[in-house]
Amino acid sequence: MSLSFQRWIDSPSVAVAPSLLAADFSRLGEEIKSVEEAGADFLHLDVMDGNFVPNITFGPMIVAAIAKLARRPLITHLMISDPGKYIENFIRAGSSLISFHFEACRSHHAEVLEGLSSRGCYSGLALNPDTPLRAVEHLLDRIDLLLLMTVFPGFGGQEFIPDVLPKIQEASRLRKSKNYRYVIEVDGGVNLDTAPAVREAGAQILVAGSAVFGSKDYAAVIASLRG
Ligand code: DX5
Ligand code: ZN
């Protein structure tokens, strides 16, 4: 991959990626159009398998349907066991970037990352709130996005875990000092109250599900999240 994922972020402030998990799926087309018109930079798609996390959402078929409707890049967040087995399907479905959990595969992380880049898909690595940055130090030079979870994955609408803030700061410091290309995305419990600290810590993409879709004015929330 020659161009960095950063090129998708054209605003000088942070980018906002609404998580469709909190959207009204009976009106998915309208919801996508509304958040895009309200200023969403990306769409964040939460794929859960009922194994890596105790919840099931949707698979590549729905991602493909979303890709048909969407005009913004799709960031697919895989919360599934054995992600390497399924990346091909999610790439074909139209994901611009696929992130998988470090905790979801035992070793072969580098192989999965390589599988993504060699197929022309941007690659992201997601970390649970209690996984330290040092666990993935050896992979940081080859990822396009680092997804730091501020809730334990599995459900939308959970409370933000502030203990993750130092990890976001550290990831941001490392990115600058080592000149890594990854973009920092923060996901879980991000709302108008918690967003300022997340931005301050160095996040570049804020994911928000319930804060956006639970509001009456998507544009106002997205603008405030951006800061
Ligand atoms: C949690 C998901 C998040 C979640 C965000 O497992 O990865 O993307 O849907 O939802 P809120 O913003 O409501 O915490
Ligand atoms: Zn997510």
79: tokens are: 């919360």
Question: Of the ligands numbered here, which is closest to the C-alpha atom of 18?
Answer: 1
- CB-based burial, 171-193: b 16+ in 10 Å, e otherwise: bbebbeeeebbbbbbbbbbbbee
Whether the pLDDT of residue 143 is over 90: the answer is yes
Q: Is 18 in the pocket of ligand 1 (CB under 6 A)?
A: no
Q: Is 185 in the pocket of ligand 1 (CB under 6 A)?
A: no
Candidates 43, 45, 46, 42; CA nearest to 8 is: 42
Q: Could you tell which of 161, 187, 213, 215 is best to mutate to test the pocket of ligand 1, judged by most ligand atoms within 8 Å of the CB?
A: 187
Cα 158 to averaged position of ligand 1 atoms, centre (Å): 7
Gap between the Cα atoms of 216 and 70, Å rounded: 21
Question: What is the number of the ligand 1 atom nearest to the C-alpha of 154?
Answer: 6
Q: What percent of the chain has pLDDT over 90?
A: 93
Catalytic pick among 10, 41, 46, 144 = 46
139: tokens are: 């992979």
CA atoms in the 13 A half-sphere facing the CB of 101: 25
3-state DSSP assignment of residue 204: coil
pLDDT band for 135, please (50, 70, 90 cuts). Answer: very high
155: tokens are: 């459900």
Q: What does the pLDDT average to over 168-185?
A: 97
Q: Dihedral of CA 116/118/121/122: which sign? A: positive
- What sections of the chain are H helices per DSSP? 28-37, 60-69, 87-92, 109-118, 165-178, 195-201, 210-213, 218-226
Cα 2 to averaged position of ligand 1 atoms, centre (Å): 30
Query: What's 182's DSSP letter?
Result: P
Burial of 152 (0-12, 13-18, 19+ CB in 10 A): middle
Question: Of the ligands numbered here, which is closest to the C-alpha atom of 23?
Answer: 1
Q: What does the pLDDT average to over 8-37?
A: 93
Question: What is the number of the ligand 1 atom nearest to the C-alpha of 210?
Answer: 13
Looking at the domain 6-226, which fold is it? TIM Barrel (3.20.20)
CA atoms in the 13 A half-sphere facing the CB of 68: 7
Q: Is residue 187 annotated as part of the catalytic site, yes or no?
A: yes
Question: What is the number of the ligand 1 atom nearest to the C-alpha of 208?
Answer: 12
Q: What does the pLDDT average to over 180-196?
A: 98
Whether the pLDDT of residue 64 is over 70: the answer is yes
- Enter the pTM of the model: 0.97
The 10s digit of each residue's pLDDT in 43-59 is: 999 999 999 999 999 99
Question: What is the number of the ligand 1 atom nearest to the C-alpha of 211?
Answer: 12
Domain boundaries, the chain: 6-226
Q: Quick check: 98 and 91 in contact, CB under 8 A? A: yes
Cα 8 to averaged position of ligand 1 atoms, centre (Å): 21
Specify which residues 49 forms β-bridges with: 56
Which whole-number Å values give the CA distances from 127 to 86, 124, 151, 154, 167, in the listed order?
19, 10, 10, 13, 10
Catalytic pick among 141, 144, 187, 193 = 187
What is the model's pLDDT at position 128? 98
Whether the pLDDT of residue 10 is over 70: the answer is no
